[in-house]
Amino acid sequence: MERIGVAFSGGISPTDIVECVQLAEDLGYESAWVAEGHGGDQFSTLTACAVATSKIKLGTSISSVYVRTAPTIAMAAATVDYFSGGRFILGLGTSHKVQVEPEHGLEFTRPVPRLRECVDIVRAILRDGEVSYHGEIYNIDRFDLWFEPVRREMPIYVAAVFPKMLEVCGEISDGTILVWCTLDHAATAARHVALGAERAGRPPADVEVALMLPCAVSDDPNEARDLMREPIAWYAGEFPRYRRLMAEAGYAEELEDVRQAWQNGRTQEAMDLVPAGLIDQIGLVGSQEECQDKLQAYRRAGITLPIISPRPSGTNSKESAMAIIRACAPA
């Protein structure tokens, strides 16, 4: 059975996510991932998923190293791992300045050292049950974990977009998490992860290359594309790094128009300006057969774990998400 995961980043309730994860487990999905955002606490939702399932792996996609301290992340991760019986994957990332500062009132500085230190501290707490740490960012005299973790070693994945962070992933993580990638960028990203692993003396095969693929399934290609317009317009309008990534697909001018419309509150115009060609390049869009073919193309490009991210439609978003999960289920 081919490896595949499913991710949730809004649009359905925490209860609906649990039901979708149960379905994914029944259909043979390897893992289920929950984003950090405004739709509910991801660790709480994943704990609910843990007690409702028995086999599927569960992960964060991602948890920001800014909005929680490293010991808090370690405690949350160990707790979900406890309730899941050792099925948890901790996905970490730096998030974005445009989220961290205005939404949380925190200063977004030195993201790479913060990420490295967070990974070190979380691993130390899980391994030893305690940590004392004095680095560039963290100064911890002593922290104790007051319960026995299910596992002393837990897989930690790191989100990345461009070469520097991709190579850091290869050095320090068990996997990297990508999103909004063309086939060409996916292949390039996999090579940078391998370079980082080799620099650290690690076999590149030890580092998973996972890609979240926003997904809309419909026999009507225009209907499928329309479901992708809002998330793409949002990412292009709000996040400079993702706008730059999307621009590499050859749509820099069009994306600048999207950004301006989005930033000026012209949401529908921004959505309408998203090029159809861009949607086809960075999403999983079309009929069930077309989506399955695109999954295979990403696997050939070096993605070891494709993760579909359903874009629900209509008034019953849970049923819409479930239909996408069924359509993309592993063979």
pTM of the model: 0.97
Do 238 and 250 share a domain, yes or no?
yes
Domain harbouring 86, CATH code: 3.20.20.30
> 135 and 36, same structural domain?
yes
Statement to judge: residues 144 and 112 lie in one domain? yes
Number of H helices, E strands in the chain: 14, 12
**Pair 28, 79 in one domain:** yes
Q: Are residues 188 and 163 in the same domain?
A: yes
Same domain, 19 and 134: yes
Q: What is the span of the domain harbouring residue 19?
A: 5-216+287-327
> How are the residues of the chain apportioned to helix, strand and coil, as percentages rounded to the nearest 5?
50, 20, 30
Do 244 and 206 share a domain, yes or no?
Answer: no
pLDDT in tens, 64-119: 999 999 999 999 999 999 999 999 999 999 998 888 989 999 999 999 999 999 99
Element containing residue 60 per DSSP (H, E): strand 57-60
Task: State whether 228 and 180 are in the same domain.
Answer: no
| pLDDT string in tens for the chain (331-residue length) | 899 999 998 789 999 999 999 999 999 999 999 999 877 899 999 999 999 999 999 999 999 999 999 999 999 999 999 999 999 999 999 998 888 989 999 999 999 999 999 999 999 999 999 999 999 999 999 999 999 999 999 999 999 999 999 999 999 999 999 999 999 999 999 999 999 999 999 999 999 999 999 999 999 999 999 999 999 999 999 999 999 999 999 999 999 999 999 999 999 999 999 999 999 999 999 999 999 999 999 999 999 999 999 988 667 899 999 999 999 999 8
Residue 299: φ, ψ to 5°? -60, -40
The verdict on 138 and 245 lying in the same domain is no
Measured distance CA(214)–CA(282) in Å, rounded: 8
- For residue 307, cis peptide bond before it (omega within 30 degrees of 0): no
Query: Do 51 and 81 fall into the same domain?
Result: yes
Say how many domains are in the chain: 2
Same domain, residue pair 130 and 248 = no
Pair 104, 189 in one domain:
yes
User: How high is the mean pLDDT of the chain?
Assistant: 96
